[in-house]
Amino acid sequence: MGLLLPDFLEAHDKDRVEVYLYDYSPEDGTPTRQRILAAADQALSIKALSDQQAAEVIVKQEIDVLVDLHGLSQGARPAIFAARPAAIQAQYLGYIGTTGFPWIDYVITDQVAFPRALEPYFSEKPLMVEGSFIPLGPPPIRTVVRDRQACGLPQDRFVLAAMGNVYKIKPELFACWMRILQKHREAVLWLIDDNPVCTANLLAQAKNFSVDGQLIFGSRAPYGEFVGRLSHADVCLDSFPYNCGSTARDIVHAGVPYVSLAGKTMVSRMGASVLHALGLAECAVASIEAYEAIVGELLGSEVDRRRLRDGVGQAILTWKSQVDRVVGSVEARLGNLVFG
């Protein structure tokens, strides 16, 4: 989430919005953290305060809208919000689903990620932004990785990459990937070597499909190098039912097309949200059969791969307008709630 925030915060209209940050995260000394803090009109540490004390500080500062960036994720402090220190309270980015908390009024989302059919299952009302609720942001300064050999990849094979966290790999989708490899022996699947037990289990499952020789595992790398390596993939594969979030943005920044399966939940529609906003909706599909089919089509068509890669390249150029569009719509909708 931290990588998504700086550009979002910096894009606020300073004549219209004052940004206060209440910080209880650990000090990691990173440039990203410093940018986040510097983007605020005021940044206050509440690490040493109790939940009640923190809520009292927020009340004294007469905050109009308080946004929870943690939700139910690890390290969250929902008791601050339970004290109702602001008249309007919303959640954004940190938890992609409903909190179930009656003191959170809105979830900041978009029409692709949050179809109307989801409303009965959320305690929060949707506050829709224009474009994707996951802001694109500028391409990072990426480390130049000379060629595929430097990534441990074959030069003469078609590289499918699934670079999301391995805990997001479910049996049904993994079986789909294995069927793709069975049909396309010229392809390899590039995965993260995140956990030796998990890697062994994935290889064992691949052996059941007789494609274990087509799996390649790579180590994690610093952010710039990760994006640089990723640029050597031909097509990236999204996970399901928990889609890639910030990794989807990394894939776009690497200039690589990716295929996403959109489900019925907000967390399973993140990929579709990003793809629709960038004009690449054809890569967001609604069934595992369609997912398998479109990957197969891309494997068989260099023209389509090049067309989609060109589309991703054009989308990267729109990052500033994408961020401005999201932030401007958030400001407008929250402004309507505050001022009527």
pLDDT digits (tens, 9 = 90+) for 88-141: 999 999 999 999 999 999 999 999 999 999 999 999 999 999 999 998 888 777
- pLDDT higher than 90, residue 246: no
The letter for the amino acid at 160 is: L
288-309 average pLDDT score? 96
Q: Look over the chain and give the mean of its residue pLDDT values, rounded to a whole number.
A: 94
Give the Cα-Cα-Cα angle 78, 84, 86 (nearest 5 degrees).
110
- pLDDT higher than 80, residue 204: yes
- Same CATH fold, 148-317 and 5-134+321-339? yes
Please say whether the dihedral angle defined by the alpha carbons of residues 134, 138, 139 and 141, taken in this order, is positive or negative.
Answer: negative
- pLDDT higher than 80, residue 2: no
221-247 average pLDDT score? 92
308-314 average pLDDT score? 94
Q: What are phi and psi of 102, to 5 degrees?
A: -70, -15
Q: How far apart are CA 272 and CA 22, in angstroms?
A: 31
User: Which residues contact residue 61 at a Cβ distance below 8 angstroms, ignoring those fewer than 6 apart?
Assistant: 20, 42
290-301 average pLDDT score? 97
CATH class assigned to 5-134+321-339: alpha beta
Q: How far apart are CA 144 and CA 230, in angstroms?
A: 11
- pLDDT higher than 90, residue 215: yes
Give, as one character, the DSSP assignment of residue 219. -
The stretches of 222-301 forming alpha helices (DSSP H) are 223-230, 246-253, 270-277, 288-300
The closest alpha carbon to 337, from 105, 169, 88, belongs to: 88
State pLDDT tens for residues 71-84: 999 999 999 999 99
* pLDDT band (50, 70, 90) for residue 198: very high
User: Do residues 236 and 258 touch, judged by C-beta distance below 8 A?
Assistant: yes
| Per-residue confidence (pLDDT) for residue 121, from 0 to 100 | 98
State pLDDT tens for residues 143-185: 788 789 989 999 999 999 999 899 999 999 999 999 999 999 9
Give, as one character, the DSSP assignment of residue 143. P
User: Which residues contact residue 34 at a Cβ distance below 8 angstroms, ignoring those fewer than 6 apart?
Assistant: none
Q: Does the N-terminal peptide bond of residue 102 adopt cis geometry, omega within 30 degrees of 0?
A: no
- From start to end of the chain, where are the E strands? 20-23, 42-45, 65-68, 88-91, 106-109, 125-128, 158-162, 187-192, 215-218, 235-237, 258-261, 284-285
User: Which residues contact residue 76 at a Cβ distance below 8 angstroms, ignoring those fewer than 6 apart?
Assistant: 68, 70, 94, 95
The closest alpha carbon to 300, from 185, 147, 174, belongs to: 185
Cβ atoms < 10 Å from Cβ of 286: 12
Which secondary-structure segment (H or E) carries 314? Answer: helix 302-316
32-41 average pLDDT score? 94
Task: Give the CATH H-level superfamily of domain 148-317.
Answer: Glycogen Phosphorylase B; (3.40.50.2000)
Domain residue ranges in the chain? 5-134+321-339, 148-317
User: Do residues 58 and 80 touch, judged by C-beta distance below 8 A?
Assistant: yes
Determine what percent of the chain is predicted with pLDDT higher than 70: 100
Helices vs strands, H then E, count in the chain = 12, 12
56-84 average pLDDT score? 97
Using a 10 angstrom Cβ sphere, with 0-12 exposed, 13-18 middle and 19 or more buried, the burial of residue 306 is: exposed
| Per-residue confidence (pLDDT) for residue 115, from 0 to 100 | 97
47-57 average pLDDT score? 98
